[in-house]
Amino acid sequence: MQYSFPRYLLAKQAIDDRALNRHVLDALRANLPHTPVRVIEVGAGMGNMLARLLTWDMLTCAEYVHVDSMAENIEFALDWLPKWAGQAGLCAETVGEMRLRLYNARQDVIISLVQADVQEYIKTMPEPGDLLIAHAFLDLLPMPQSMPGLLSLTNDLAWLTINFDGGTTLEPVINAELDAKIERLYHGTMDNRSTGGDSRAGRHLFEHLRGVGADVLAAGASDWVVYPRDGRYPPEEAYFLHFILHFFEEALSGHPELDSGQLAGWLAERRAQVDGGELIYIAHQLDFLARRNPVPPAGF
C-alpha cells in the first residue's frame, strides 16, 4: 500500500467531524469575536479545519493564516482548497503569492499559506490573531516550554483540538498480553520523541494552560471511534485504519523490547481485520477552548 499523508488527512476528515467535542465547539461559537476575525492555525495540514469552519458557518469575514511545516501539505492545500470551495458553493481566486480568497454572498475569507516550523513562525509572526487553532498537533510538541510561544499567537482565544490522552483500543483482542505490550510501547515512543511529545497531552493541557495564565472556557472528550457497519467501513476509513497501523509499524520496528516476528504477525492480523471489516479502533483525546489573559502592564 502507498502511504500518502495528505490522503490520510483527507481520510480522517469525517472521523474528526464526529470526534470534535460539541460542547467545546458551542463555546467557541459563543465566544468568537465579531467579524472580521483573524485566525492562525498551526499544523494546518491541507485545509480541513478551514473547510469545516466554513461548512459549519463559523466564519463569515476572516483572515486565515494557514501554517504548516510540510511543503507537501501546503502544495496540496493550494490545489485542494479551491476545488473543495467549488463543490461547496464558494468562489475561489488567487489574490497573491500563497494567498487565496474563498467567498460567496455571505462568507469571505482570505487565506495566507505559510510553510514554516511553528517555532520559526512564532519568531517572525507579523501580528497575533483573535483565534489560535491547533488541531491534532499539540501532542507532538515539547511541553510546557512550547505553550508561551503558542499562546503569543492569539490575543484572545485558543481552540486546541484532538489532543491525544493515553488511550488506544483495538478490538477484537488478538493476544491480551501482546496487545497491552504493543500499546504501552507505542505510547512510550510518543513520550520519547527527540522533537518532543506526550502520550497524555490532553490531561496535561489543563496544567500547561494554567501555567501561562490562560483560562479554560470549555473542555471535553473528542475520541476517534472507527467501526464497521454491516462488515464494511465508510469510504476512506479503511485507509485511515491502515495508516494508523502504519504509524505502529514505523514507531515500533526495531524496538529493543519487541520481537520483530511478533510485531510482524500482530500487524498482519490487524491488517486482515481491517480488510475483513472487523477492526474497531478507539483513541481517547481531549478538546479545549482557552482564553489568553492579557499581560498586565509593567508595575501592575
The DSSP annotation for 86-118 comes to HHTT-EEEEEETTEEEEE-SS-EEEEEEEE--H
Sign of the torsion angle spanned by Cα atoms 227, 228, 234, 239: positive
Can you name the residues that pair with 113 across neighbouring β-strands? 66
| pTM, full prediction | 0.93
- pLDDT tens digits, 107-163: 999 999 999 999 999 998 889 999 999 999 999 999 999 999 999 999 999 999 999
Domain ranges of the chain: 5-167+196-224+282-291
pLDDT for 103 beyond 70? yes
Question: What was the pLDDT predicted at 299?
Answer: 34
| Least trusted range by pLDDT, from 31-40, 80-89, 99-108, 242-251 | 31-40
* pLDDT tens track for 28-55: 999 998 789 999 999 999 999 999 999 9
Fold of domain 5-167+196-224+282-291? Rossmann fold (3.40.50)
The CA–CA distances, whole Å, from 2 to 222, 239, 246, 263 equal: 28, 10, 10, 20
Cell readout for 64 is 486565515
Query: Of all residues in the chain, what percent are helix, strand and coil, respectively (each to 5)?
Result: 40, 25, 30
**What distances in angstroms separate CA 260 from CA 2, 50, 156, 170, 253, one per listed residue?**
22, 41, 49, 20, 7
In tens, the pLDDT along 196-245 reads: 889 999 999 999 999 999 999 999 999 999 999 999 999 899 999 999 99
User: What backbone torsions phi and psi does residue 140 show, to the nearest 5 degrees?
Assistant: -100, -5
CA distance 198 to 69: 20
Residues 23 and 286: beta-carbon distance below 8 Å: no
- Of 92-96, 107-111, 191-195, 245-249, the poorest mean pLDDT is in 191-195
Close Cβ partners of 144 (under 8 Å, ≥ 6 residues apart): 207, 208, 211, 212
Share of the chain above pLDDT 90, in %: 90
**Average pLDDT value for the chain:** 94
